[in-house]
Amino acid sequence: MMKMLSSLVAVVSIGTGLIVTYVLYKVPEKPQFNLERWWGIGTKPKQEDVAIRPFDVDFNDTMIQDLKQRIRNRRPLTKPLEGIQSEYGMNTIYLEKILAHWVDKYDFKGRAKLLNKFPHYKTRIQGLDIHFIRVQPPKAEGRKVLPLLMLHGWPSSSKEFDKVIPLLTAPRKGYDFVFEVIAADLPGFGFSEGTNKPGLNPVQIGIIMRNLMRRLGFDKFFIQGGDWGSQCATHMATLFPNEILGLHTNMPLSSRNLSNVKVLLGAFFPKLIVDSRYVDRIYPLRKLFFYILRESGYFHIQATKPDTIGVALTDSPVGLAAYIIEKMAICSNRDQLNTPHGGIENLNIEDVLDTITIMWANNCVVTATRIYAEGFKHPEVAIVQNIPTYVPTAAINFKYEVLYQPDWILKDKFKRLVRSTVMDIGGHFAALQTPQVFVNDIFEAGVAFLKYHDEQRGDKS
């Protein structure tokens, strides 16, 4: 009898193991998508507008005067508790200094002029006016020109790339290529139109961005993305592997079921999984979970009730500034909560105010924030996340990126991880905080991508 029970237990254990293995390693079928789904107001017209129109950034006088009046007429702000700097959130004493700078020293017209040093355009894709910057490199004999689509995250816009665009489009000694940059505003962000229809999640945004590139004449191109831009770019690589020549991401994440289990298993043998220099970026999990719990309140609000918080942020520039600054600060250096600035001084204040001003001027905080809700409501997102991509991928992890995963986990999603870099500096807004390092890695990624494609052509010959 005992022998029979032992055999039964063994069979059940083996069966359970096989089922678990099947679930973890199973790759779902790629969903079928309507690549022309209409996101504009009303129904799709018979004749679409496909024009590409020049566009100028303009911070108009009416907006500026209203903004300054609202800031000056604010109610008194509650001061921090005794001995508290930024541990409870935005330090309002420090915020007063930023507000004074915004009203008295921030040069609205001058900052718009700086943004307009690049050629800006708009074109209607699937019913939405999409804004983008397009900068072509100077003619350089003997150099390849690599088309690079750059995608930002929340709460940013294409403005996030204004420091790196000149560096990426300039010929560089030792490299036989240069980039042509297309930096787009995601739908509902910056100067891009938002939708009035539910369902515009990062997968669908990826389709819009792919169609934007096709509108511009690019059947094959490279992508760079961070934050939600990284998610959109990753989905593009998964869905359109024959069109994406390479993916560079400064927020590399694998959300496959297998990866989530690996993270938990790694807690028992962290040094076997993660380079000992970077173990503390993910383990012990207790510390990681505490950090996530402490800093993800905004995430839960935006993923569940974005329109509610949107009312407060739409009506008050002071509230909008506090909300955005606090999140940009913690993502730039989470170890500086014990300072009045909370980490925001790792970024240039003018860049921070550009980001807030663009969101205020376009009244787009709600349409931008809804990406959190859309990203978690639709099963198609989880399905695409669980499908590996075989597009050559380059990953860079800056020290204060929101989350860190070692290559052992990243390779669950990115099967052709041709380059992986871990930095001891920098944070989430890498193009603003450490532009030169950011650009250096993109150029090195370009080398790795071209080498990969050369080897593939060699294999076929």
> What end-to-end distance do the CA atoms of the chain give, in Å?
64
Give the whole-angstrom CA distance, residue 52 versus residue 134: 11
Give the whole-angstrom CA distance, residue 181 versus residue 166: 9
323 is catalytic: no
Q: How far is CA 201 from CA 198, 207, 211, 440, in A?
A: 9, 10, 16, 31
Neighbours of 263 (CB within 10 A): 18
Which residues have CB under 8 Å from 350's CB, separation 6+? 106, 111
Alpha helices in 216-269 (DSSP H): 228-239, 257-266
Identify the active-site residue in 227, 354, 412, 441.
227
Cis omega (within 30 of 0) for bond into 155: yes
Identify the active-site residue in 120, 131, 152, 428.
428
Give the whole-angstrom CA distance, residue 57 versus residue 110: 11
Give the whole-angstrom CA distance, residue 421 versus residue 438: 11
Give the whole-angstrom CA distance, residue 431 versus residue 63: 28
Give the whole-angstrom CA distance, residue 42 versus residue 455: 48
Backbone angles phi, psi at 70, to 5 degrees: -65, -40
- The dihedral built from the CA positions of residue 345, 347, 353 and 358, taken in this order, carries a sign that is negative
Identify the active-site residue in 106, 283, 323, 372.
372
Q: Which residue in the block uniquely carries the two structure tokens 């979970």? A: 289
Give the whole-angstrom CA distance, residue 370 versus residue 31: 23
Kindly write down the DSSP assignment for every residue of 391-414, as one continuous string.
S-EEEEE-TB-S----HHHHHHHB
354 is catalytic: no
Four-point Cα dihedral 57, 59, 61, 67, nearest 10: 160
378 is catalytic: no
Query: What residues are labeled active site?
Result: 227, 372, 428
